[in-house]
Amino acid sequence: MRTKRAAWILGLFLSAAANAQQATHLPNSKVANALDRMQSADLQTRETAFDELMRDLSSEVQNQTNPDEPSEVLPMFFKQHPDQAERVKLGLIQLLGKESETFMGKSVPPGTYSEGDMEHYAQLIEAVSELNDGRALPALIGAMTTGGIAAGGILRFGDKALGPLLEQLKNPDGPVRARALEIAVTILKAADNDASPTRIRDLLRSSLKDTDASVRTAAVTLIECRDDRRDFVAVLQDLAKNDPERFPGKTDDGVDGDWHYPVRVQARRVPRDIENNKTCKP
């Protein structure tokens, strides 16, 4: 009887050991395969591989967390599989860099990619944002014009992100400069040290002279919520009269005839709100 019971217990032990070994090696093999395919030159292959990777990671931790939330799945998976964490992190970061070139390149005509493609890009940005890994900062900055998820990931780095962001103010792409300005000002404002107000003022004054209208508009909008916003009234009034960016069509306030001057419209509105002590909406 004891012999049979001992054999039964030994069998359970060996079965559990085999299962544990399988749980270690099977994910490792599947993860490695997905990561390899994420380096493909073909977009659809990369998308499928990324989906499979996230699904496999989720399946490993689904009993302990929400399988649809990268913020829960990734930390738990890295904790359970530290041997695979480094490769997964680098694979996601590298993929985001590649996809930003794919989706955000200047030579990409509108409508090139489907809604599903863009959803893939958004999910990837979210995953990389949740890594909290300094190596992800360049990739997130490359995706920052897509919206709040990438910006949120950048903001987590605080002062460490300032240098790379300020470097983007030299980027030839105006919308990139505008987004870099907005995020940099947010970081400086949050720092709340003696140097921050001066640095912000300098950034805004130089950006009001930028050659791209999107940067000038961003600067005008950022001024609205500043404590020292009255100091900018004179330069805003000058922009309201002389900013050159225009498109056919009447503006809402009807001041500019048959042309729409987007920067002038904002540059008129902000001083008016300042004069009326209107509370801004950051």
The model carries a pTM of 0.83
CB crowding 13-47: b at 16 or more within 10 Å, else e: eeeeeeeeeeeeeebeebbeebbebbeeeeeeebb
Query: Which one-letter DSSP state was computed for residue 255?
Result: -
Q: Lowest-confidence range among 9-18, 73-82, 168-177, 234-243?
A: 9-18
pLDDT band at 64 (very low <50, low <70, confident <90, very high): low
Tell me the domain boundaries of the chain.
1-104+116-156, 158-282
Whole-number Å distance between alpha carbons of 10 and 4: 10
* Residue 26 pLDDT > 50: no
More confident: 276 or 97: 97
Tokens of 8: 């039964």
- The secondary element (H helix, E strand) that includes residue 140 is helix 137-142
Burial of 228 (0-12, 13-18, 19+ CB in 10 A): exposed
Residue 255 CA to residue 264 CA, distance in Å, equals 10
For the chain, what is the total number of helices (H) and then of strands (E)? 13, 2
In Å, what is the CA distance from 43 to each residue of 56, 95, 120, 122, 191? 20, 11, 10, 14, 40
Question: What is the pLDDT at residue 280?
Answer: 75
SS (H, E, C) 157-210: CHHHHHHHHHHHHHCCCHHHHHHHHHHHHHHHHHHCCCCHHHHHHHHHHHHCCC
Mean of the pLDDT values across residues 129-152? 93
Angle between helices 196-207 and 213-223 (to 10 degrees): 140
Token pair belonging to 19: 């299962």
Q: Which of 263, 235, 236 is nearest to 247 (CA)?
A: 263
Q: Is the pLDDT higher at 251 or at 235? A: 235
Percent of the chain with pLDDT over 90: 63
Is the pLDDT at 10 greater than 60, yes or no? Answer: no
pLDDT band (50, 70, 90) for residue 277: confident
- One-letter amino acid identity for 50? F
Per the model's pLDDT, the better-predicted residue between 108 and 248 turns out to be 248
Residues sharing a CB contact under 8 Å with residue 197, sequence separation 6 or more, in sequence order? 228
- pLDDT tens-digit profile of 187-201? 999 987 889 999 999
Residue 123: exposure state from Cβ atoms within 10 A (0-12, 13-18, ≥19):
middle
* pLDDT value for 150: 94
- pLDDT, residue 65, reads 56
Amino acid at 38: M
* CATH dotted code for 158-282: 1.25.40
What is the 3-state composition of the chain as percent helix, strand, coil, each rounded to the nearest 5? 75, 0, 25
Instruction: State the amino acid at position 85 in one-letter form.
Output: A
Give yes or no for residue 259 having a pLDDT over 70.
Answer: yes
Compute the distance between CA of residue 64 and CA of residue 234 in angstroms, rounded to an integer: 58
Q: What pLDDT band is residue 27 in, cutting at 50, 70 and 90?
A: low
